[in-house]
Amino acid sequence: MTLSLRRKQLDVIVRMLHLNQQQLPNGGEGQGEDDAYKILVMDPPCISILSPVLKLGDLRHQGVTLTLAIDRPRQAVPDAPAVYFVRPTPGNVDRVAADAAAGLYGSFHVNFSTSVPRPLLERLATACAAAPPACAGRVARVADQYIDFVCIEDDLFSLAQPRAYVALNDPAAADADITALVDAVALGLFCVVATLGVVPVISCARGGPAEMVAGALDARLRDHLLAKPNLFTEAASAAVTSFQRPVLCLFDRNFELSVGVQHDWSYRPLVHDVLGLKQNKLKLPAEKYELDDSDKFWVANSWSPFPKVAEEIEAQLAKYKQDVDEVNQHTGGGKVGVEFDGTDLIGNTKHLMNAVNSLPELTERKNMIDKHTNIATSLLGHIKERSLDGYCSCENDMLVSGTVDRNTLLSLIRGKGTKEDKLRLAVTYLLSFATPPSSELEQVEAALRESEVDMSAFQYVKRIKALLNTQFAAASGTATKSNIVDWAEKLYGQSIGAVKNLLSDSRQLALTRTVEALMEGKPNPEVDDYLLFDPRAPRSGTSGQFKGPFREAVVFMIGGGNYIEYKSLIELKQRSQPSKHVIYGATEILSGAEFIHQLAELGQKAGLGGGSSNIPPGSAQ
Amino acid sequence: MKITALLVLKPSTSGAGSSSSGGESGPEAVVLANAIDVSHFGYFQRSAAREFIVFVARTVAQRTQPGQRQSVQHEEYKVHSHNRNGLCAVAFMDDHYPVRSAFSLLNQVLDEYQKAYGDSWKSVTADETQQWAFLTDALTKFQDPAEADKLMKIQRDLDETKIILHKTIESVLARGERLDSLVEKSSDLSAASQMFYKQAKKTNQCCTIL
């Protein structure tokens, strides 16, 4: 059974839209209310959850005639059932109760996106009990749906928890703040595994946020499994023939910081980073585009290097023109002055029919070509304006081969490119070398100041880099300098000693290597000291723990993920034999610029960099 | 100006002539007392920061000879170290903390340690985990370098005295009436000076009338 998180989430949503009743084989017979048209009421976070999975037309197919926001004034529709899909917050609960008391809809089917705390449930019950008797009876059902995550792709999700990295690393964060955030992440991951219907084995490195989240999730799963039946018994029985438990690999952003800031040369990461792709939607100055599974060009080319994408657009355009010429020729559009010959009437009619039939397809192809031409042209403008090819090339050299041309580095920092671009390059430089020569480092810093770059992010990374070395040295059980360097190099994703990825020229990330090792389950010095939590196993026993191999994995990055890691994990799937399946998720999906803003903010909070920062806080999907 | 950590260590004297034995990384200093402020690090970095500081302190202490004072720049920290008869005090400070004050503080730490513990430290072979109250208090108190440096304190007191004197004179000069009575009562001015002052004032009044 291949895990498709989006398919599972869609199933839950569709069932919710059909008022959480089991689908009968004979359709509408005997199900009066299910046949009726429905009103869907949502709050903004749930709109974000639903929109990548269902379009407006899809909603109509499910019988939803109206989609409304819960916090806007709404007109009464007394004879229609309403499906509410909201987060469990006091405000939303009060709104639902007020709507029920006002008799806005014929019946109320309340679906919370995740677990509703008991006090809130009691609050809703109390408010309904106080309403007139006729209105109180309108609340037909209250359900926890456990789908509080945003599925961007079949195997890519985000918990939509912004700025988790800042919150987790903030020096001023109180223990209660850290605990609350860790619990929120654990609850989000619980929603993911509940939707998948499988109880994972949880794996994480020692220390840091990953271990805290793993412990919290393990405890939550254990509590839930005590109840019978629970969310997993139904799913387990349904999938008993091909049941296989996945491994949930938890990572902290500091595990491989360089991926968070580096520039990438593939089409999809470029669109995300440079043009601001959000939930598969793209806004250019002139137009808006959707880039999802319905776009065949995007599906086929989104991971290609940008120059290949440009070539492919050219090829598609050439083929389109050729097809158009062919149609014109067959229909006689290209001939002038040819006498009409009665003997060709039948043939001409056939060609005309073929032409008419092929018009919709040709139009669609033209629209697609225009769309990607516009996107590629816009990208090219940014690439030239900012010398993005130089940044990609220089960063790739540093990370893959561990070398840097000093002149190239300094001229990039002094040349074109946004301040964020220069910062990202400098941070990549810091992370690529265990101990860069101090004279070279001083030149880099001087060049950054010359470009009036805010130094907070750079200084912050400088500081935590030393801590990362210490942390991982402690984890490896030795304090000698050479081992620190070895660990630092491995964990910073350098390819020294690593096998290059045969499928592409980009390096294999430390994340991907670690996930591969965890899935294989063989002894491996990189992952032998990783912790394992098995919520199904007895708590005390450690000897009987199942260590793999696993064919399914869910990889989660705490503190923000990105398309580069997602792409690397896709490549792992494609080259694995026998096949593996990996789902990737993060607290939020960040571009390099967004992440560098968070680093800068942390630098400010830690008192580094000096002066006040005018960098706006980064937003993320 | 900030102190991040204060530590008292006993550098190892075993095998002084040999750099390493077997597979070990060499002799290490023993931590006798420590006070470390990691509140400006993130929640998950604090234990790593603490380890890092202890590690660097051991390294520096082990390389500070008896009778030697030295300052080592490491990352953004200035690490000051003072070894007196085999007992070594180490401080982590930023660049703006005056070096004189730093070593004055280390001297006090060593004095207080010997007062509190005598010579018992000489037989210690493993890290002490118990907190020493003086060191924790010192970490807070000596964030102000003047507290550690008597000369700087006296200098600042003198500056404040000057300010007080200036204020006193200025406040008196702002009230003419008081000056009159001051002149009357002052035993420092001779009778002739008093007469001169009064007549001068009368002359001014006559001119005003005219």
**Is residue A346 assigned to a domain?**
no
Last residue of some domain: A145, A174, A191? Answer: A145
In CATH terms, the superfamily for domain B3-12+27-206 is Longin domain (3.30.450.50)
B31 has which bridge partners?
B9
Query: Please, are residues A545 and A534 in contact by the beta-carbon 8 Å criterion?
Result: yes
Shared domain for A450 and A376, answered yes or no, is no
Q: What residue of A is the nearest CA neighbor of B77?
A: A463
**Is residue A592 assigned to a domain?**
yes
**Is residue A517 assigned to a domain?**
yes
Q: What residue of B is the nearest CA neighbor of A179?
A: B43
Q: Which of chain B's residues have a Cβ under 8 Å away from the Cβ of A462?
A: 75-76
Q: Which of chain B's residues have a Cβ under 8 Å away from the Cβ of A606?
A: 40-41
Q: What residue of B is the nearest CA neighbor of A206?
A: B44
**Is residue A574 assigned to a domain?**
yes
Residue A402's pLDDT is: 83
Shared domain for A130 and A159, answered yes or no, is no
The more confidently predicted of residues A271 and B204 is A271
- Looking only at the bridges linking them, the beta strands covering B30-36 and B3-10 are antiparallel
Question: What is the residue-averaged pLDDT of chain B?
Answer: 71
Q: Which of chain B's residues have a Cβ under 8 Å away from the Cβ of A466?
A: 52, 75
Which residue in A615, A606, A557 sits closest to A582, CA to CA?
A: A557
Instruction: Name the residue facing A168 among B25, B44, B48 (closest C-beta).
Output: B44
A264 Cβ contact partners less than 8 Å away, ≥ 6 residues apart: A270, A273, A392, A506, A563, A564, A567
Shared domain for A432 and A519, answered yes or no, is no
Return the SS3 of A443: helix
Among A150-154, A228-232, B88-92, B118-122, name the one with the lowest average pLDDT. Answer: A228-232
Q: A468: distance to nearest CA of chain B, Å? A: 8
Checking if the pLDDT of B86 tops 70, the result is yes
Task: Kindly report the CATH number assigned to the domain that includes residue A245.
Answer: 3.40.50.1910
* CA dist., res. A432 & res. A123, Å (int): 54
Checking if the pLDDT of B28 tops 80, the result is no
Last residue of some domain: A130, A145, A160? Answer: A145
Structure-block tokens of residue A208: 């840091």
Q: Which of chain A's residues have a Cβ under 8 Å away from the Cβ of B40?
A: 171, 606-607
Among A470, A472, A558, A605, the residue to mutate for chain B (most B Cβ within 10 A): A470
**Is residue A363 assigned to a domain?**
yes
Q: What residue of A is the nearest CA neighbor of B41?
A: A171
Q: Which of chain A's residues have a Cβ under 8 Å away from the Cβ of B47?
A: 207
Q: Which of chain B's residues have a Cβ under 8 Å away from the Cβ of A602?
A: 42
Contact at CB, A474 and B42, closer than 8 angstroms: no
Other Cβ atoms within 10 Å of B18 Cβ, number: 9
Q: Looking at residue B141, what DSSP letter applies?
A: H
What are phi and psi for residue B37, nearest 5 degrees? -105, 110
Please report, for chain B, the start and end positions of each structural domain, with discontinuous segments joined by +.
Answer: 3-12+27-206
Helices (H), A332-437: 345-386, 388-396, 406-414, 419-432
**Is residue A167 assigned to a domain?**
yes
Instruction: Output the CA angle A355-A356-A362, nearest 5 degrees.
Output: 70
Contact at CB, A467 and B55, closer than 8 angstroms: no
Compute the average pLDDT of residues B177-202: 52
Contact at CB, B75 and A178, closer than 8 angstroms: no
Contact at CB, A168 and B55, closer than 8 angstroms: no
Bond into A549 cis (ω within 30) = yes
Q: A205: distance to nearest CA of chain B, Å? A: 13
Structure-block tokens of residue A183: 């619990």
Contact at CB, A462 and B25, closer than 8 angstroms: no
**Is residue A179 assigned to a domain?**
yes
Contact at CB, A462 and B76, closer than 8 angstroms: yes
Q: Which of chain B's residues have a Cβ under 8 Å away from the Cβ of A170?
A: 42-43
Contact at CB, B51 and A466, closer than 8 angstroms: no
Which residue in A620, A617, A587, A593 sits closest to A605, CA to CA?
A: A617
Provide the number of structural domains found in chain A: 4
Shared domain for A416 and A307, answered yes or no, is no
Among B39, B44, B77, the residue to mutate for chain A (most A Cβ within 10 A): B44
* CA dist., res. B90 & res. B71, Å (int): 10
Q: Which residues does B contribute to its contact with A (CB < 8 Å)?
A: 25, 39-45, 47-49, 51-52, 55, 75-76
Q: Which of chain A's residues have a Cβ under 8 Å away from the Cβ of B39?
A: 171
- pLDDT grade, residue B178 (50/70/90)? very low
Q: What residue of B is the nearest CA neighbor of A472?
A: B48
Q: Which of chain B's residues have a Cβ under 8 Å away from the Cβ of A607?
A: 40
Structure-block tokens of residue A533: 């939590």
Among A467, A468, A472, A598, the residue to mutate for chain B (most B Cβ within 10 A): A467
Residue A569's pLDDT is: 94
Contact at CB, B44 and A602, closer than 8 angstroms: no
Q: Which of chain B's residues have a Cβ under 8 Å away from the Cβ of A474?
A: 48, 51
Contact at CB, A169 and B42, closer than 8 angstroms: yes
Q: What residue of A is the nearest CA neighbor of B26?
A: A480
Shared domain for A69 and A56, answered yes or no, is yes
Long-range residue pairs from A291-295, CB within 8 A, at least 24 positions apart, any chain: A292/A52, A295/A368, A295/A371
* CA dist., res. B113 & res. B123, Å (int): 15
Q: Which of chain B's residues have a Cβ under 8 Å away from the Cβ of A604?
A: none
Instruction: Name the residue facing A470 among B39, B43, B48 (closest C-beta).
Output: B48
**Is residue A240 assigned to a domain?**
yes
Shared domain for A525 and A575, answered yes or no, is yes
Instruction: Name the residue facing B43 among A178, A462, A464 (closest C-beta).
Output: A178
Shared domain for A563 and A585, answered yes or no, is yes
Bond into A523 cis (ω within 30) = no
Structure-block tokens of residue A536: 């199904």
Bond into A229 cis (ω within 30) = yes
Q: Which of chain A's residues have a Cβ under 8 Å away from the Cβ of B41?
A: 171, 467, 606
Q: What residue of B is the nearest CA neighbor of A207?
A: B44
Instruction: Name the residue facing B41 among A171, A175, A178 (closest C-beta).
Output: A171
- pLDDT grade, residue B165 (50/70/90)? very low
Shared domain for A73 and A167, answered yes or no, is no
Shared domain for A299 and A423, answered yes or no, is no
Instruction: Output the CA angle A369-A371-A375, nearest 5 degrees.
Output: 115
Q: Taking the alpha carbons of A500, A503, A506, A512 in that order, is the dihedral positive or negative? A: negative
Instruction: Output the CA angle A463-A467-A470, nearest 5 degrees.
Output: 145
Instruction: Output the CA angle A282-A193-A197, nearest 5 degrees.
Output: 115
Q: What residue of A is the nearest CA neighbor of B44?
A: A208
What residues of chain A score a pLDDT lower than 70?
Answer: 1-3, 21-37, 135, 228, 234-244, 332-346, 348, 467-507, 539-547, 609-621
Tell me whether residue B123 is exposed, middle or buried, using C-beta atoms within 10 angstroms of its C-beta: 0 to 12, 13 to 18, 19 or more. exposed
**Domain of residue A278, residue span:** 274-329+359-384
Q: Which of chain A's residues have a Cβ under 8 Å away from the Cβ of B48?
A: 467-468, 470-471, 474
Residue A33's pLDDT is: 47
Shared domain for A170 and A232, answered yes or no, is yes
